[in-house]
Structure 1
Amino acid sequence: MVILREQTPSLDTHLWDARVRALYDYWLERCRDGCPPRRSDIDPVDLPHLLRWLWLVDVTRDAPDRPLRFRCRLMGTEHVRTMGHDPTGKWMDEAFPTFLTNPTYSDYVQVAQNAVPSYRAGMPLYHLDKNHVRMERIMLPLLGGGKTIDMMLAITVYLRGIVVSP
């Protein structure tokens, strides 16, 4: 499937955590002709202050009759520390047993199929069971060799000590 975005989405970022907004702005600057950047357009040297919160996910399209699968390519140290384990190299549905049945799975699919960012703030839904933690994250599509999304760049920041009512 060929994916080309007609325009870069416009998101209201004024209330976002500065780290999440910084990655989103960096990604936007690298979008060209209405298309997301490629992985080669992203240079970690440009983002040293964000590295510990960043993560990369590979998008796998094995067969048209199978759902998309996602493999954790890289997980930043703050993310690993907060979760208590490192899912790097693992399939998301294996590292997190409720991943496929969780509403967040559709966020991954939307990013991969529609080449649009996915922003979310609130309690962690599938990867962390701590009611005192609030998270904020954005997942950003990256083009592969053709015109399909084969990777996602993301950042998740955790804010502790905040009680979130259901």
Structure 2
Amino acid sequence: MRELADSEIRDSRLQRLYAYWRERHVGTRPPGRADLDPLDFPYAVGFVTLVDVEHGPLRFRFRLVASPVTRHLGYELTGKYLDEVPEPAMRGYLEESYRRVVAACGALHERGERVLDRRIWRHESMLLPCCDADGSVNMIISARVTETPRSLADPALPG
């Protein structure tokens, strides 16, 4: 994942959500949870995951996981911590990405394919920080538009 530039976003729903998040900024600070209303973005509900950020020590808890993400993973993460993700590559990828969002207090974006835990994920995703009044990130909005991941053992893959 890398820092987000508006022009890189291809999916129209992600574009709308990013524009909404930008509009809700408080000065130069990303919006807080209270500054956002899910009723304002019903088009995004099916692909948004909310991740609570705890500090001291830094830890991530899945408040709400989008149904397609749960279906693609094959297990439920709502209410669980990141360190409970059973797949090591997925856990490491998410941990690194979430830590980058917290450190930069900025949005990240990725589009393309990624191999994690012997599955190929084709997706476009972005991570959007939400902040307390003091500017510390307390929640991450993960918006992911993805195809069903394919196993590396899938015979339909080119050899």
Cα distance between partner residues in 2 of 1:123 and 1:26: 26
Please give the secondary structure, in 1, of the residue aligned with 2:95.
helix
Q: TM-score, normalised by structure 1?
A: 0.77
For residue 92 of structure 1, what is the amino acid of its counterpart? L
Match of 1:121 in 2: 111
Cα distance between partner residues in 1 of 2:133 and 2:14: 26
Match of 2:95 in 1: 105
Flag structure 1 segments of 5+ consecutive residues without an equivalent: 1-8
Q: How many residues align?
A: 151
The Cα offsets for residues 34-93 of structure 1, whole Å up to 9 and x where unpaired, read as: 100010111111111110100100111124xxxx21111111112222222220111112
Please give the secondary structure, in 1, of the residue aligned with 2:101.
helix
Q: Measure how far apart 1:104 and its partner are.
A: 4.2
Q: 1:15 to 1:73 in 2, by over 3 A?
A: closer
- After TM superposition, where is structure 1 displaced by more than 6 Å over at least 4 residues in a row? 161-165
The Cα RMSD (Å) is 2.8
Match of 2:64 in 1: 74
Sequence identity (%): 28
Match of 1:31 in 2: 25
Cα distance between partner residues in 2 of 1:13 and 1:23: 14
Q: Measure how far apart 1:32 and its partner are.
A: 2.2
Cα distance between partner residues in 2 of 1:164 and 1:139: 29
Match of 1:142 in 2: 130
Q: Measure how far apart 1:105 and its partner are.
A: 2.4
Please give the secondary structure, in 2, of the residue aligned with 1:123.
strand
Are the counterparts in 1 of residues 83 and 91 from structure 2 also a CA contact under 8 Å? no
Cα distance between partner residues in 1 of 2:4 and 2:81: 31
1:60 aligns with 2:43: no
Q: Measure how far apart 1:144 and its partner are.
A: 2.3
For residue 11 of structure 1, what is the amino acid of its counterpart? A
Larger relative strand fraction: 2
Larger relative helix fraction: 2
1:130 aligns with 2:124: no
Flag structure 2 segments of 5+ consecutive residues without an equivalent: 151-155
